Structure 1
Amino acid sequence: MTRTLLTADAILTQDMASPQVEALVLDGGLVVATGSRKDMAEHAGPETRRLDLAGATVIPGLIESHIHPTYAGLTGGWADCRTPPCASITDIQGALRNSTPSHGWIRGWGYDDTQLREGRHLTRDDLDAVCTDRPIIVLHISGHFAVANTVALATAGIDESTVDPGDSQFPRGADGRLTGMAWEIDAVARLSGAIPDLTQAEVQTALLRSLTLARSRGITAVHDLGVGLSAGMQELAAYRALDTKGEMPVHTVGFLRGDLAIAELEEGNIAFTAAPAPGSRFRLAGAKFWADGSIQGLSAALRTPYTCSPNHHGDLLYPQEQLDDMVLQVHREGGQVAVHANGDAAVAAAIAALRSAHRSDGRRARHRIEHCQVSRPADLEAIRDAEIGVSFFVNHVFHWGDRHRDRFLGPERAGNLDPLACADDIGLKFGLHSDCPITPMDPLQTIRTAVNRLTMGGAVLGAHQRIGVQRAVQAMTVDSAYLVHDEGRVGILAPGRRADLVALDGTLAALADASSDIPQPALVMVDGR
């Protein structure tokens, strides 16, 4: 690999010992020296390739700490049922008809009942109106719910005789018929299990589509928080195949879907690793479990009821003892555990389970809480004290903030959604994420949202929870590296660290100015390439 001398107007390293430099020397996939243009030119020597990025701001490569690459990649072949473009159920039906493949299942994704003109979820009858001889399944924008037509339900073996009348995972209408809804992750997995397996080529193509997009957005590493969500163990096989072929566009740390992880551990088929093998861009770090659901789906577990439903506060998906046991099974095998928790009751349950695992043998695995949208200061202090990591879903402020304020949570709780300033004040390290495809994978927009907390409607949601640009960049670089024990390898531009970086065509200050264009990546390097 050619030695490179990289210079730019501003190189912001995130290295506290040397936060801004004029030049970097890169060699062998690593940063080997940082400093002034003069000193680095002398250090690099005359045979070095020179790369002068005039007008650019160079920062460490951005780390997207929670996405679903296979799922995101597959949606390109499904009907887009989001709002926009779909304002009504009729629009969704039209999108499904227009996207109908020549054979097999008809797939759609992204519908949001709270934005549809009818203000309700889809039903099997809505989908039967599209097609009665082929199975249809449409995923909710949250990913926590799905709706199927009658043929799809029958294919999955789900009907009024196979589902207990009191099973809330498959709700019924006033007439006693199943509505077609699969409620929450386990039910969605049961329904989706009837879909024929993808080919390995299809899974690899979906992964490459997402990871290539990530790199184009300035991302040099991602955390896949749910390997197996869309294609089961084929996803892990696809990662390993792409990695073996040297085709991974970015580094990826994977967390296997929890039920798959437990089953594969029992068979001795998987092992977790805390560091990548030399030359590898993928490793399986651990597993992910879900403590609750979605705020906008009213299935996140809150301590106090929803504003729009005063008698309802959501429910934990598992009893505490069961969550504790699942977490402990992965912990004992040396894995890192991530727990999805949106509501504060779920955050408390996740803290209890992860802290219990730590105490079982004293190993501080740096387990993680994902999303952590509604939480109290005491929860954040407990996370810090237990040495648990956290990645905040701050994009919710922009995409759902208005509805959280006006409908789901009320002004006070919504104003403290994703409490970044509070977390920073107590010294908590945290990541930020998009949960793509739930919201678009655009880390610079995510940083802007963390800085200005503007909603889609143009309002400021919780000005007191804003953080500065530099702190937000820290969250999406070295702090996100910390979440997976990678802070000694990546996240800052310093000697011995991976040469993962992004050069932006503007200044970081522009990210704080909502009236200005967001700087875009002009150059992205992964391992110095």
Structure 2
Amino acid sequence: MSGTLFYGGTIVTQDPKYPAPEAVLISCGKIVAVGDLADIQPRADKATVKHDLAGQTLLPGFIDAHSHPIWAAKTRGAPVVDVRANIVPTYAALIGKIKRRVAVAEPGEQLLFFGLDAQLHPDMEAPTRAFLDELAPDNPLGIQTSNCHALFLNSAGFKACGIDETTPTPTGSIIERDENGVPTGKIAEAVTWTALESFYEAWGARRLAEEVEQQIRAFVANGITTVTEHLYMPFYKASYMAALTQKLPLPRVACYQQATTPDMRVEKLTDADDRLWMAGVKIHADGSPFIGNIWLTEPYLSNEITLERMDLKPGHTGGPNYPQEYFERMVREYFSAG
């Protein structure tokens, strides 16, 4: 048996049967023995790595109960420009960063900025389509909010995403428009994530594969061995299967497929090693508190953040993304499907 034998430190199991074991033996990525060192050591062979903890503490793998590995890979790393407030602290600085990136962009190059935040960019103003057209007349440009639920686009960005005045607003989505039905800059909810794919696809599969591997290794480096994919889409499967084929240290992944219609086909995911499975569906019944569309029983506060930066009206309580009958149909369909 090859593997690793851990001993010589505090071993935390969270298992009442083995509250304070002396040793743990791992083989082929699985825990095969826990208990007294004298009992376990004979099961180790010459190929087993013997790891003396030297007084350190060995913990179980952590579980990240709400994560987005593939989505995070898409929204992190070049060519996405990170403008979150911990990096770019003001809206004025954010706009300056956009101007500098546009100045060196190739004509037609798609530009995406991630991290606009009405709560943390103190001087924020909601960017309009016209304003973004002035910044980038020759490039599709998008600014995604830090909570991921909304996207601001210029005219070239709307064209790249296939959205214009004739595009119907999908059920459960928001496309803000003028009196003539022309999109004015902001979209939100499910249509946002569909629109963003036009940017990601333009950058190619290699870039995504590299970012996915970085996300996987970041989880493992932080001791996280089980994660969730809380916005799974069917085309994510290729990335996960590639990670398994390449034998990357993929954490166990519980997937929740994004549901926007009652008749969506839920992806079948099976992995003999129990590393990847479909745990359920995710329905965005309402939105995000940070863009003002969660559904509240009491209104949002009326202050500078809500009235000016988020552009909410006094007494705003948000609302559901879906009509009640439509939402109930979705719940009943997916519940009956297991």
1:190–1:69 Cα change, 3 Å: closer
Normalised by the size of structure 2, how large is the TM-score? Answer: 0.82
Match of 2:158 in 1: 153
Correspondence 1:461-480 to 2 at 5 A: none
Q: Is 2:88 aligned against 1:86?
A: yes
**C-alpha distance in 2 between matches for 1:207 and 1:260:** 28
- Partner in structure 2 of residue 129 of structure 1: 134
Cα drift, residue 58 of structure 1:
0.9
1:63: Cα distance to partner? 1.3
User: For residue 312 of structure 1, what is the aligned residue in structure 2?
Assistant: 316
Per-residue deviation, residues 453-476 of structure 1 (Å, max 9, x unmatched): xxxxxxxxxxxxxxxxxxxxxxxx
2:309 corresponds to: none
Structure 1 residue 13: Cα displacement: 0.3
Amino acid paired to 1:24: V
Task: Flag the 1:33–1:304 CA change in 2: closer, same or farther, 3 A.
Answer: same
Q: Kindly indicate whether structure 1 or structure 2 has the higher relative contact order, using CA contacts under 8 Å at least 6 residues apart.
A: 1
**How is 1:123-272 mapped onto 2 (pairs within 5 angstroms)?**
123-160=128-165, 162=167, 169-172=174-177, 178-183=183-188, 185-189=189-193, 191-192=195-196, 194-195=198-199, 197=201, 199-228=204-233, 233-259=234-260, 262-265=263-266, 270-272=267-269
8 Å Cα contact 1:6-1:23 kept in structure 2? yes
d(CA) in 1 for partners of 2:148 and 2:183? Answer: 20
Q: Which amino acid aligns with 2:327?
A: L
Matched, 1:300 2:294: yes
1:48 shift after superposition:
4.2
TM superposition shift of 1:132: 0.4
Deviation of 1:284 (Å)? 2.9
The 1-side partners of 2:175 and 2:3 are apart by 59
Query: How is 1:6-405 mapped onto 2 (pairs within 5 angstroms)?
Result: 6-42=6-42, 44=44, 48-74=48-74, 75-77=76-78, 78-100=80-102, 102=106, 104-160=109-165, 162=167, 169-172=174-177, 178-183=183-188, 185-189=189-193, 191-192=195-196, 194-195=198-199, 197=201, 199-228=204-233, 233-259=234-260, 262-265=263-266, 270-273=267-270, 276-278=271-273, 281-308=275-302, 311-334=315-338
Sequence identity of aligned pairs in percent?
26
Cα distance, 1:122 vs. partner? 2.2
- Distance in 2 (CA, whole Å) between partners of 1:293 and 1:36 is 51
Residue 235 of structure 2 aligns to which amino acid in structure 1?
A: Q
Q: CA deviation at 1:205?
A: 2.2
Provide structure 1 residue ranges, at least 5 long, that are not aligned to the other structure.
335-529
- Work out whether residues 89 and 122 of structure 1, in 8 Å CA contact, stay in contact via their aligned partners in 2: no
Q: CA deviation at 1:180?
A: 0.2
In 2, Cα distance between equivalents of 1:168 and 1:30: 43
Between the aligned partners of 1:2 and 1:163, the Cα distance in structure 2 is 59
Task: Give the deviation of 1:40 after TM superposition.
Answer: 3.0
Spell out, residue by residue over 1:357-380, the C-alpha distance to the aligned partner (whole angstroms, 9 max, x if none). xxxxxxxxxxxxxxxxxxxxxxxx
- Number of the residue aligned with 2:307: none
- In 2: Cα distance, 1:227 partner to 1:261 partner: 16
Where structure 2 has 5 or more consecutive residues not aligned to the other structure, the ranges are 303-312
| Secondary structure at the counterpart of residue 14 of structure 2 | coil
**SS class of match (1:40):** helix
Q: Deviations over 1:427-465 (max 9, x none)?
A: xxxxxxxxxxxxxxxxxxxxxxxxxxxxxxxxxxxxxxx
Deviation at 1:17, TM superposition (A): 2.1
The CA distance in 2 between the partners of 1:43 and 1:261, in whole Å, is 53
Secondary structure in 1 matching 2:238: helix
Distance 2:22 2:173 in 1: 60
Counterpart of 1:206, as a letter, is E
In terms of mean alpha carbon deviation, does 90-99 or 167-176 score higher? 167-176
2:54 alignment partner AA: A
Which has the larger helix fraction? Answer: 1
CA distance in 2 between counterparts of 1:85 and 1:298 reads 24
CA distance in 2, matches of 1:106, 1:217: 31
Q: Deviations over 1:133-175 (max 9, x none)?
A: 11101110111110001221234343456568xx982224699
Distance, in Å, in 1 between the alignment partners of 2:255 and 2:41 is 39
Say if 2:116 and 2:144, in contact at 8 Å, map to a contact too: yes
Cα deviation, residue 181, structure 1 = 0.5
**CA distance in structure 1 between the partners assigned to 2:29 and 2:185 by the alignment:** 51
Q: In 2, Cα distance between the equivalents of 1:162 and 1:29?
A: 50
Aligned equivalents of 1:107, 1:318: Cα separation in 2: 28
Structure 1 residues 193 and 62, CA, compared in 2 at 3 Å: closer, same or farther?
A: closer
SS of residue paired to 2:244: helix
C-alpha contact 1:214 1:220 (8 A) present in aligned 2: yes
Residue pair 1:146, 1:188 contacting (<8 A) in 2 also: yes
Counterpart residue identity of residue 20, structure 1? A
How has the CA–CA distance of structure 1 residues 79 and 307 changed in structure 2, closer, same or farther, with 3 Å as cutoff?
same
TM-score, with normalisation over the residues of structure 1? 0.55
Distance in 2 (CA, whole Å) between partners of 1:310 and 1:10 is 56
Offset at 1:190?
Answer: 5.1
Q: Residue 450 of structure 1 aligns with which residue?
A: none
Tell me how far apart the structure 2 counterparts of residues 176 and 300 of structure 1 sit (CA, whole Å): 24
Instruction: Give the stretch that moved more between structures: 318-327 or 217-226.
Output: 318-327
Comparing 216-225 with 253-262, greater Cα deviation is found at 253-262
Cα offset, 1:317, TM superposition = 0.9
Preserved CA contact (<8 Å) 1:240 1:282: no
TM-aligned CA distance change 1:153 to 1:26, over 3 Å = closer
Structure 1 residue ranges (4+ consecutive) displaced by more than 6 angstroms after TM superposition: 173-177
